[in-house]
Amino acid sequence: MPSALTTLRRRAKALHRNLRGAAMAARALASTDHPVLAHIIPVRRCNLACTYCNEFDDFSNPVPTDEMFRRIDKLGALGTTIVTISGGRAACCIPELG
């Protein structure tokens, strides 16, 4: 059983995460001039064979690195709050991201 201090610390961290999320939602609602979330999938190739993965195909070409950085810069210029990057194992296919 965790100590009282550990429990208090966990609750404080959870409260901090919830407040941060609420503040982000409030900013998103207050200013609709910018994207809140953008999801980037730079490459759909991977040298692994995870059975649960749906980000693999063998016919899509990776987004060229220059184009990817241009898109990320544009998202930054738009004031995007959150940018997530996922997809195949980019480090094995795009050396600049490794």
Q: Are 78 and 34 in contact (CB under 8 A)?
A: yes
Domains of the chain by residue range: 1-32, 33-98
Is pTM, for the whole model, over 0.75? no
Which pLDDT band holds residue 62 (cuts at 50, 70, 90)? confident
38 Cβ contact partners less than 8 Å away, ≥ 6 residues apart: 75, 80, 82, 83, 84
E strand or H helix at 85, and its extent? strand 82-85
Which pLDDT band holds residue 96 (cuts at 50, 70, 90)? low
Q: Answer with the residue of higher pLDDT: 63 or 15.
A: 15
pLDDT at 91 over 60: no
Residue that the structure tokens 């979330």 belong to: 37
pLDDT at 16 over 90: yes
Q: Residues of the chain with pLDDT > 70: what percent?
A: 77
